[in-house]
Chains A and B, each alone.
Chain A
Amino acid sequence: MDLSIGWAHAGPSILASFLASIVECVEALTVILAVGSVRGWRGALSGSAAALAVLLALVAALGRALMNIPLDIVQLVVGALLLLFGLRWLRKAILRSAGLIPLHDEQAAFSRNIEAMQRFGGVRGWDKVAFAACFQITMLEGTEVVFIVIAVGAGGTGLLLPAGLGAFAALIVVIALGIALHRPLASVPENTLKFFVGVLLSAFGTFWFGEGIGLRWPGADWAIAGLIAAFLAVALLTVSLCRRQASCDAVTVRP
């Protein structure tokens, strides 16, 4: 890790990576708990462990490949991808906060998965169903975490480690809570997390893309803090605009 990187970069990198990863880990945990409790833990945990091994290999390979690409190109491409990803999350979180689309319900997802697992027959020997289900969900959610870590960490020298640490901390926290509770983390304020993570990722994406096209930000790295505040203000304003629109709907369509 490059020790010269400032807190202005490392702090938001750890936070963005931690919060984004915790959302994905909670979604994976819901399915793994459902599969494990119905089909048994051996197949479920083996499937997740296998997927984690594949993902770690992917991170190592991609991380090494990224080192060979010029930094401005990485910043340009990663910035654009991060903006597509972050603004998509932020838009969805805004629409959820405004009540225009329903909130994600982990408890309902858990029940659906339990029902789906019970439809398969009984377990004889090695449980392929449990293995495949947990491998798939860990790969799906883990791929998102890998992208977040690489996107947040690839924009600057020495940022991959703080971003990785943030994601690893999220994984540990979710595993610990999963072991302690043995049920889905239904009380996690997922939309609030997604709202804040969308703001952080959009700010990072704008900063990296600007750096990639050779833009000099006022205040250098501290411009990230300004971008976070600005995106937060725009997002809150948009929630209020959408709520107003929704309340106009109610008035317009009422008989």
Chain B
Amino acid sequence: MRWIGTIFREIFGLFVDDGSFAITILVWLGVTRLLLPRLDVFSRWSGLILFAGLGLVLVESAVRYARGRQTTLDKQGPKSASHS
């Protein structure tokens, strides 16, 4: 019955592989859920605000990954960097 556990892990993995990325998305969705309906600009700009936040989360996470890789390579030195 180990395969059932594997399936549950796979289902969780469908939504989360980088924990901080998933949490930031959920936090932004929570913020928009709570705040956007209370703003005067709700009907006009809220779609753009919702999208802009998600876009920023995506860009930040991908660029952070690229920077993290640079830090790792810097620590490993030029020899290992040439192999990656």
Which residues of A pack against B, CB within 8 Å? 76, 80-81, 83-85, 87-88, 90-92, 94-95, 98, 100, 132, 135-136, 139-140, 143-144, 147, 202, 206, 209-210, 213-218, 223, 227, 230-231, 234-235, 237-238, 241-242, 245-246, 248-250, 252-255
* Chain B residues close to A by CB (< 8 Å): 3, 6-7, 10-11, 14-18, 21-22, 25-26, 29, 32-33, 36-37, 42-43, 46-47, 50-51, 54-55, 57-59, 61-63, 65-67, 69-70, 73-74, 77-78, 81
> What residues on B are CB-neighbors of A90 within 8 Å?
58
In whole Å, how far is B64's beta carbon from the nearest beta carbon of chain A? 10
Q: Do residues A249 and B47 form an inter-chain contact, with CB atoms below 8 A?
A: no
Whether B46 contacts A252 by the Cβ 8 Å rule is: no
Q: Which residue of A83, A215, A248 contacts B29 across the interface (Cβ within 8 Å)? A: A83
- Given A202, A215, A253, which contacts B42 in the complex, CB threshold below 8 Å? A215
- Lowest 5 CB-CB distances: which A-B pairs, in order? A245-B66, A84-B15, A253-B81, A234-B55, A249-B70
In contact, A100 and B46 (Cβ under 8 angstroms): no
Chain B CB within 10 Å, residue with most, of A94, A132, A248, A254: A94
Measured between C-beta atoms, what is the minimum distance from A99 to chain B in Å? 10
Contacts A210-B46, A213-B33 hold; do A84 and B22 have CB atoms under 8 A apart?
Answer: yes
For the complex, what is the distance from the CA of A209 to the CA of B32, rounded to whole Å? 10
Q: Which residues on the B side are within 8 Å of A248 (C-beta)?
A: 70
Given A88-B14, A209-B29, 11 new contacts (CB under 8 A): A76-B33, A84-B15, A84-B16, A85-B15, A206-B54, A223-B47, A235-B58, A242-B62, A242-B63, A242-B66, A253-B81
Q: Which residue of A lies closest to B80 (CB)?
A: A253
Q: How far is the CA of A61 from the CA of B46 in the complex (A)?
A: 35
- Closest-by-CB residue of A relative to B24 is A87
Given known A92-B17, A253-B74, contact A139–B7 (CB-CB < 8 A): yes
